[in-house]
Structure 1
Amino acid sequence: MPSNTSLQRYLTPVLLLGLLVVSNCAPERPQQTSAPQSTEEPAATDPTLRTIESGRLSGLIQENGSLAWRNIPYARPPVGDLRWKLPQGVENWDGVYEAVNTIQPCPQFVSGLSAGIPDTDGDGIVGNEDCLYLSVYAPSDIPEDEALPVMYWIFGGGNNSGYAGDYNGGILAESQDVIVVTVNYRLGSLGWFLHPAILEDNASGAAASGNWSTVDTIAGLEWIQDNITAFGGDPDNVTIFGESAGGGNVMSLVTSPMAEGLFHRAIVQSGGIGTTSIEAGINYTDDTVPGHAHSSKEIVNMLLIRDGLAANRDAAKVLQDSMTNDEIRELLYSQSASEFLKLYNPNAARNYPAPKKFTDGTVFVEQDPLEQLASGNYNQVPIILGTNRDERRIYLYGAWADTIRSDPEEYIRFAHYPSLQWKWRGVDNLARRMTDAQQAPVYAFRFDWDEQQTREDGFDMGIAIGAAHSTEMAFVFGDWGVGFINPDMLYDPSTNAGRDALSDAMMSYWSNFAYSGEPGQGRSNNLPEWQAWQNGDGNPKMIILDSEADGGIRMSTEEVIQESIKASFMAESWSDPQNRCRAYLSTFAGTAAFDQTEYEGLIEGGCSRE
């Protein structure tokens, strides 16, 4: 936790899912800000009774026999004056804390990723700022003479949505003899925000970084170091793993000097890497070094205009520059979470643009993260990097329903190239650098399972969804309720045997990696050997994870580079020429591979401006 020595040393300077959901079928959960405490003494034979640094707690026995302790506070609530502050150590409690409730979300807009969380006031936002909790899952039979590997799950959701309570690690823990920890962390502009006015006098290091959310996940790792032995876990064998934005947050910990020594392996599922400059996070958009459109100073401008204190942006800027830090701070801290978030996102979309992950020199080094990986200046541990073959289909299938029925090959073609770009960005481009920079092995995977059902109306979910973004999570957790699509609308009973076997294999690989630092042949020791990535043509690159019916689990030498994506794209034929234009933008816009002249000449007559 932040009070510990390894985090205290940083208090002074040292150094996507806009998801279409088929059905929100999760049961309603009551809104809670903390688990209750009990003054009654539990039975002496209660197998869940534990003592940690903050006090005693009890949990519950789950249906599959696994033990669970939910909603454990790992930091004080970041409310009031603790908003936009480093996570603070938990106060000790009396009696026995009943760790049985589901972790509730940090503030976020209503979406498929908050399914089951009631919007009681109808403002389009759910969650509470009192949200820094984690849960621990353990097997029913915890060895007395052996500390089990710890797997620390960081959920995804664009860093704007999602919550740890949506993931139950009990099946993974019970079947693989590991301890699973799921952690909540602050989201969006409540998790990454930096304005000079909110900093305390002489604030420095992490306390002046604006990276409150990243330090939350570090505080959770500190909590593990201090407390996990009480649950049978080994603090010297911690694997961090996460998906989507959670995978990106795993990479943040890999590159953050503050996280050094707090974990020992890493798994990145559909992640990536990226940071934002301090200037982009703070400055006005018309400064010499321009800030983001939603930088902290531009947000204050919006507040002043919204409250009628300034007629327009120019007047707001003049007024803000004349205000004292105390006046600006009072204005910012007087905002409710809902009022504040709506400044960024008046249309209430799940994801909203806000700068995150500031290169402050303490939490994140002042270096391009790709250059940092190439230099070897990061927390070098055995690592798995992976994506799903059809990442982008999850974002497309609703709008493309007619094409899926009439011209499925066009849909597959359109989704293929941005999915391939995701693989380059999240796996190949990182693996090449890290393999040259570290002695610890780098492993890669591609998840290919696509044997979903065809609905009664003839709509083929295997084409619409396929091996899309987030679909691998249920396989990793062995829990078909994990994910954001109603399983009754997704899985086909006729293919469930192959699905279940692939899930068993993936859990076996993931847990063996947690035990040994290499997936090998899995914990079962009977799976195809998962070889490390080797640079060079023809060498092993990744393992393909699929059912026996579709080729099974197998190694591949396939490698993706920007040039190969571009060459394949330019040779492609399209049913609708405008889809060529749209796919080009979807694949290459915002990357070094985008060429405006090339784009304008893609098709005869030019690409539509619509």
Structure 2
Amino acid sequence: MRTINWPSPTPLRLLALLACLTACSPGEDVQTAAQQPAESAAMPTDTTLRTIGQGQLTGLVQNNGSLAWRNIPYAQPPVGELRWKLPQPPEPWAGTYAATDIIQPCPQFVSTLSAGIADPDGDGIVGSEDCLYLSVYAPSDIPEGEQLPVMYWIFGGGNNSGYAGDYNGGVLAETQDVIVVTVNYRLGSLGWFYHPAILEAGASGAAASGNWSTVDTIAGLQWVQDNIEVFGGDPGNVTIFGESAGGGNVMSLVTSPMAEGLFHRAIVQSGGIATTSMEQGVNYTDDPIPGHEHSSREIINKILIRDGLAADRASAKVIQDAMSDADIRELLYSQDAAEFLKLYNPEAARNYPAPKKFTDGTVFVGQDPLDQLASGNYNQVPIILGTNRDERRIYLYAAMMDVIRNDPQEYIRFAHYPSIQWKWRGVDNLARRMAPVQDAPVYAFRFDWDEQRTSENGLDMSIAIGAAHSTEMAFIFGDWDVGFISGDALYHDASNPGRDALSAAMMSYWSHFAYTGETARGRNGDLPLWQPWQNGEGNPKTLILDSEAGGGIRMMSQEVTLESIKADFMAEQWSDPQNRCRAYLSTFAGTEAFDRDEYVGLIEGGCSSR
């Protein structure tokens, strides 16, 4: 692809609009030495010398003393004939491999999740298809012969963006005595793509699934099984955890028969569960069983039109239907990755629509995933499910700046409903099904911390952002530059002590869960008791994670259903009737609660006519 200038391990990532609104001076973080950002501080030393199946390698000693081995290939590069193929075992190397570079991203559109990655040709695409790498982080002092729990991080970004190199596990590893692994995986249409023509003769099972990205994360787990002991990790105690799309990918592994036995606990942060039929992945949109707008056959139509081989979609279909599998295969494999991605997203937005997670019968079973959970037919392990209280504010604030300034309660009201719907979709609706059918505990959390600063321009970030999507990650990694918005844009001296105490508590809960499969009172036994989810009114459900100033860490018994969200929404009073229309769509569109007649009648004159 193209040359990439690598960023620092913890890039300060500010949305462009936010940067112009927050002329903030840096505040000093109140942290222990072990919680300081774990950037690399030394050249490779014999302290980091290890021998794995591929050969010898050395890593880095980081500022906080933790050890890091970065950019280790866990599979062969999925390039050339290996594009849209199962990940192949990595090749051994001669000599000593310097595992010191930051993992490069897989091909993706430029966004806040690729901040710091150069785009020298200015085409709006960064990254390389040679991207199947992982990193390992370990504490500085592991007693000889001891095996520590392994925490396997799957990053988020809509499964279209982001990269593992943006997450440094050194603080979590050093303070909690765990081994942290961060893994890259193929993204978007290079990670999930199915067409019969690309399959090798006789291909079956996962090799004919189109779920290349999901199998990447499984291959990374297999690498952990084969190699993690030499880094001090226990292959018999692996916790998979991830956020947003990464959380959804954790649920993919929980439900995939192929991942059975490769992990022993799971943590889902702002995730969910969904699959796509094979027909949606490959069919034309006007077939008897319609395909997705970006199915493989519709993408081939776009290639033919783009290259001047067809005048329009109708003529492209005629041409495509006359092509042999060999011709289609040659056409698809000849595509430059960047030009191929642009077929899906000519506007170059980060999160382009593309079918993913195909119910092929091998990687994903041919069953509705919610029914699968209710049946108990999945990889039953202790699991944590959680969301953030204000998930959707991160997506709303830029377009609702005037509302934030002039009517903040209306903004809070608007953002509440799609945010609580995320809790229903990603936590309560799953926990209610899983808790009765598995012996292992199911835990739930809601992250509520919202003590951000006010910008010099007067924007109250605790309202604009609050406990928004991704803001909990910094607390779990002890790295205040992690997340969509980070660093000085959010934090300030007055709230940093409470922030740091909550971060320590969350790392304690997460690591104790990795050790034992229980959350209890954390590693040191000094935190409020985190009880498992129990169905039934009045029983414990969800742990609220907040600083003492925000009410502290405590259990709550309330749960949400789609019906309860709808009832609350319909009783709500709005300053601007149009906000009621927009919030209804944002909350209920795509769910069984959406009612077209109800939507039209929400306001005088009808929502749909405005």
Give the TM-score, by structure 1 length: 0.93
Matches within 5 A, 1:165-244: 165-244=165-244
Separation in structure 1 between the aligned mates of residue 19 and residue 183 of structure 2, nearest angstrom: 25
What is the deviation of 1:300? 0.4
- Percent of aligned positions that are identical: 79
What is the deviation of 1:117? 0.2
In the other structure, the counterpart of 2:493 is 493
**SS of 2:56's equivalent?**
strand
Separation in structure 2 between the aligned mates of residue 609 and residue 133 of structure 1, nearest angstrom: 51
In the other structure, the counterpart of 1:409 is 409
Matched, 1:22 2:18: yes
Separation in structure 2 between the aligned mates of residue 341 and residue 206 of structure 1, nearest angstrom: 24
- Could you tell me whether the CA contact under 8 Å between 1:50 and 1:231 is conserved in 2? yes
Separation in structure 1 between the aligned mates of residue 209 and residue 216 of structure 2, nearest angstrom: 13
Separation in structure 1 between the aligned mates of residue 234 and residue 600 of structure 2, nearest angstrom: 57
- Could you tell me whether the CA contact under 8 Å between 2:15 and 2:485 is conserved in 1? no
Separation in structure 1 between the aligned mates of residue 60 and residue 158 of structure 2, nearest angstrom: 31
Matched, 1:337 2:333: no
What is the deviation of 1:443? 0.1
Unpaired runs of at least 5, structure 2: 1-13, 23-42
Q: What is the RMSD of the two structures over their aligned residues, measured on CA atoms?
A: 1.4
- Could you tell me whether the CA contact under 8 Å between 2:149 and 2:514 is conserved in 1? yes
Separation in structure 2 between the aligned mates of residue 537 and residue 268 of structure 1, nearest angstrom: 24
In the other structure, the counterpart of 1:528 is 528
In the other structure, the counterpart of 1:580 is 580
Going from structure 1 to structure 2, the CA distance change for 1:132 and 1:490 (only over 3 Å counts) comes to: same
In the other structure, the counterpart of 2:47 is 47
In the other structure, the counterpart of 1:129 is 129
What is the deviation of 1:161? 0.1
Separation in structure 1 between the aligned mates of residue 71 and residue 205 of structure 2, nearest angstrom: 29
In the other structure, the counterpart of 1:321 is 321
- Could you tell me whether the CA contact under 8 Å between 1:104 and 1:127 is conserved in 2? yes
Unpaired runs of at least 5, structure 1: 1-17, 26-41
In the other structure, the counterpart of 1:10 is none
Separation in structure 2 between the aligned mates of residue 166 and residue 151 of structure 1, nearest angstrom: 16
- Could you tell me whether the CA contact under 8 Å between 2:52 and 2:227 is conserved in 1? yes
Matched, 1:58 2:54: no
In the other structure, the counterpart of 1:357 is 357
Q: Deviations over 1:178-222 (max 9, x none)?
A: 000000000000000001110011100000000000000000000
Matches within 5 A, 1:269-308: 269-308=269-308
- Supply the AA of the counterpart residue of 1:326: A
What is the deviation of 1:489? 1.2
Separation in structure 2 between the aligned mates of residue 310 and residue 604 of structure 1, nearest angstrom: 47
- Could you tell me whether the CA contact under 8 Å between 1:23 and 1:485 is conserved in 2? no
- Could you tell me whether the CA contact under 8 Å between 1:22 and 1:486 is conserved in 2? no
Separation in structure 2 between the aligned mates of residue 23 and residue 93 of structure 1, nearest angstrom: 44
- Could you tell me whether the CA contact under 8 Å between 1:21 and 1:485 is conserved in 2? no
Separation in structure 2 between the aligned mates of residue 91 and residue 165 of structure 1, nearest angstrom: 21
In the other structure, the counterpart of 1:147 is 147
Q: Deviations over 1:464-498 (max 9, x none)?
A: 00000000000000110111214111112101000
In the other structure, the counterpart of 1:431 is 431
Separation in structure 1 between the aligned mates of residue 438 and residue 144 of structure 2, nearest angstrom: 35
Q: Deviations over 1:380-425 (max 9, x none)?
A: 0000000000000000111111111110000000000000000000
Give the TM-score, by structure 2 length: 0.93
Matches within 5 A, 1:423-462: 423-462=423-462
State the 4+ residue runs in structure 1 displaced beyond 3 angstroms. 18-21
**SS of 1:585's equivalent?**
helix
**SS of 2:428's equivalent?**
helix
**SS of 1:180's equivalent?**
strand
In the other structure, the counterpart of 1:36 is none
In the other structure, the counterpart of 2:379 is 379
Aligned length: 576
Separation in structure 2 between the aligned mates of residue 95 and residue 501 of structure 1, nearest angstrom: 45
- Supply the AA of the counterpart residue of 1:137: Y
Q: Deviations over 1:200-253 (max 9, x none)?
A: 111000000000000000000000000000100000000000000000000000
Q: Deviations over 1:496-526 (max 9, x none)?
A: 0000000000000000000000111000210
In the other structure, the counterpart of 1:512 is 512
What is the deviation of 1:145? 2.5
In the other structure, the counterpart of 1:7 is none
**SS of 1:160's equivalent?**
coil
Matched, 1:114 2:131: no
- Could you tell me whether the CA contact under 8 Å between 2:600 and 2:608 is conserved in 1? no
